[in-house]
Amino acid sequence: MTDVKDLDTPFSLGPVQVRNRFAMAPMTRKHSPGGVPGPDVVEYYRKRAAGGVGLIITEGVYIPDPATGPDTDVPRLYDLDPLGGWRAVVDRVHAAGGVIIPQLWHLGSARGKAPEYNPDVETVSASGVATNGEPVGRAMTEADLDATREAYVRAALSARRSAFDGIELHGAHGYLLDGFLWDRTNQRTDLFGGSHKERAAYPASVVAAVRAQVGPDFPIVFRYSQWKDADFDARIAENPSELEAVLSPLVEAGLTALHPSVRRYWEPAFPDLPGADGELSLAGWTKRITGLPVITVGSVGLSAPFVSRTPSREPAGFAGVDALLEQFGAGEWDIVALGRTLLSDPDWVRKLLDGRTDEIVPYERKHMRELV
C-alpha cells in the first residue's frame, strides 16, 4: 500500500533535484502592479516553499510580446524592475529549500477586445477565434509567429539569468499555444493547421526554439489541457492515438516533463475504453504515451472539487488523498500540483506529511483574492 510518506521522496526533474513530490500549481493573482512582483509576492512564494512544497510553479508571467495579455498587474518576465523582483522571489524560495520555475504565459484570444495593457495592440491568436467561437483580434501572420516564438525564447533566457530552475510553457485552457492544439480555434491552412500533429507544430517549434537557446540542462515543462476557459467539455484528443499525435511533436522538440491540467484528478481521461484503460487518468495516459515525468493536478484533497465557474461559497475542507496515493502507487504520475489548498494554508504539505490534517485551514473563496 502506498503511504503518504512515499510522497516525501526526492525526484529528478531533468538535472534538477526536487526534494519531494509536491508542487504549487500556477494561479493568477494580479498582485504585481506595473508587472513588478514586490515584497508581498516574495513572501507569498517563500511561505509555500517553507511549508514543504518542493516545486513552485509561479502564476502565469507575461512574455515580452506586446499582445501577451490584458492586465497591468500580472507580473512580467522582462524589463529591469520585474526581473529584479523575480530574483528576490527566487532567492527566498531557494533559501527555504524549494525549486521554482515561472509559467510563461501568452493569452492569445483570451486577451480579449479591450485590453488595459498595450490597448493599441491588436489581439492575435492562431485564427483570430476565441474559445466560445466568437471572432477576437486576428490570425497570426508568419511575422507574428516568428516574433512570438522569439519572445518565448527571450523570456526563457531571462528566467535562466534570474536563477530560476527551469520554465513551464502554458499550453492549456484556450491560451495562445493551446489555441493551436484545438481544432475549433485553429482553422489555419498552413503548416500549423490541419491534423493533430500539424496543429501541434507551432507549439513544438516554440519548445524547440527555447531548448536550442537554454541548453540541455534547463527543464522545460509543458502544461496542456482538454478543457478550455469557455468550454469545460472541450477535447483536443478523443482517444489515446489522437493524444499521442498531439504530444509526440512536443516531446521530440525537447520537453523535460508534462503537466496535464484537469479539474478533478481522479476522473478517467477516456472512460469509454474497456477495462483498466477506461479508468486511467489523463496524467496516466500522458505518462504511458510519452514516458516523461508527469505532474498531476485537480482539486487535490478538497471536499469541494472544481466543477463550475461559480464555486460554492461554503469552505472546502480536507477530503483525503486515498485516490491520489492509489494513482501514485500505480505509476500514473510523478509530482502532484496543489492549487486552492495552498492559497488557504501555506503549510498544507507539512501538515499532511506530519499527520496533522485536522489542522488544515479550509479553502474559502476569499483566499483567491488575498495574498496570504
**Residues written for the chain:** 372
Q: Quick one: pLDDT band at residue 311, thresholds 50, 70, 90? A: low
pLDDT band at 29 (very low <50, low <70, confident <90, very high): confident
Work out how many domains the chain is built from and give that number: 1
For residues 117 and 72, give the distance between their C-alpha atoms in angstroms, rounded to a whole number. Answer: 5
Does an H or E element contain 261, and which?
strand 257-261
Cα–Cα nearest to 306, from 227, 223, 224, 221: 227
- Of the candidates 209, 210, 207, the residue with the CA atom closest to the CA atom of residue 223: 207
Closest CA to 288 of 232, 331, 341: 331
pLDDT of residue 303: 86
The rounded distance, in Å, linking the Cα atoms of 268 and 278 is: 6
pTM beyond 0.85: the answer is yes
Domain containing 162 — which CATH number? Answer: 3.20.20.70
Least confident range from 206-210, 302-306, 340-344: namely 302-306
Per-residue pLDDT reduced to its tens digit, 60-106 = 999 999 999 999 999 999 999 999 999 999 999 999 999 999 999 99
Q: Rounded CA gap, 338 and 150, in Å? A: 31
138-139 vs 11-13, strand pairing mode: unpaired
The residues near 216 (Cβ < 8 Å, ≥ 6 apart) are none
Each residue of 31-70: pLDDT tens digit?
999 999 999 999 999 999 999 999 999 999 999 999 999 9
Q: How far apart are the first and last CA of the chain?
A: 36
Name the DSSP letter for residue 38: -
* The three grid cell numbers given for residue 213, joined into one nine-digit string: 537557446
The radius of gyration of the chain from alpha carbons, rounded to an integer in Å, stands at 19
> Residue 26: is its pLDDT beyond 80?
yes
Q: What's the pLDDT tens digit per position in 291-306?
A: 999 999 999 999 876 6
For residues 104 and 77, what is the distance between their CA atoms, to the nearest angstrom? Answer: 8
44, 152, 175, 224: the active-site residue: 175
Whole domain around residue 79: which residue ranges? Answer: 4-369
Residue 33, H or E segment = none
Q: What's the pLDDT score for residue 233?
A: 93
Active site residue 175: yes
For position 118, what pLDDT does the model report? 98
